[in-house]
Amino acid sequence: QKEGYAVCAFNVENMEMAQAAAWAAEELRAPVIIQTTPGTLQYASPGIFAGMVGRLARDMAVPVALHLDHGDSFQLAQRCVLEGFTSLMIDGSPLPLDDNIRLTRRVVDMARGLPVEAELGTVGGKEDTHDAKPQYTDPEQAARFVEGTGVESLAVAIGTAHGLYRGIPRLDIDLLCRIRQAVSIPLVLHGASGVPHEQVRACIKGGVCKVNYATELRIAFSDGVK
């Protein structure tokens, strides 16, 4: 926030993708967040990913975080804390606002100082096995949500979507700036695969401090295997 840049967060599905993200970050001397979804953690447990990424991080000079992306339950978030994840997302966005606040507050209290990310509004598209219709973040609700939960970062819905875009996405930068005025914590941009670089930079200028990439990496991995 202070220096006006964002950290990339890359969703990895296996060892090869974790190595690619780690080695690219090391080559570019850039801090990096390596993250996994609940679906990926059905393929390999939180302990396996924590061991793998932790070992990669030991050999790196740049900061590396291991993050739970779109955590879908208190139990999974707790398990990731116990296994050594360094940050968490709890995604209560499908819930009514008050229920989202209660769930997020519970995870924040459980995490005991580890940074917790949450989502308000709904980023559209397909995330893991779930399809979601977009619902833009309301700045007034964002202020209430942040105050009521104590989260350290907030994923906002401003027009991005998970998965592939059918056309060029048009992000609501004005809405992002209004959310920025309503809350003081770092904002997170989900669904950045396929978003033009100039729009990503505009979001960073508007207060985004973490940018998530998943689909483009999965395509690159699949192409490499083929």
Q: Which residues are catalytic?
A: 69
Q: Note whether 85 and 45 are within 8 A (CB).
A: no
Number of Cβ within a 10 Å radius of residue 214: 24
Length of the chain counted residue by residue = 226
Q: What residues does 187 pair with on adjacent strands? A: 154, 208
- Rg for the chain (alpha carbons), in Å? 16
DSSP β-ladder status, 64-71 and 87-90:
parallel
CA distance 204 to 191: 14
CA atoms within 13 A on the CB side of 85: 29
128: left (phi over 0), alpha (psi -120 to 50) or beta: left
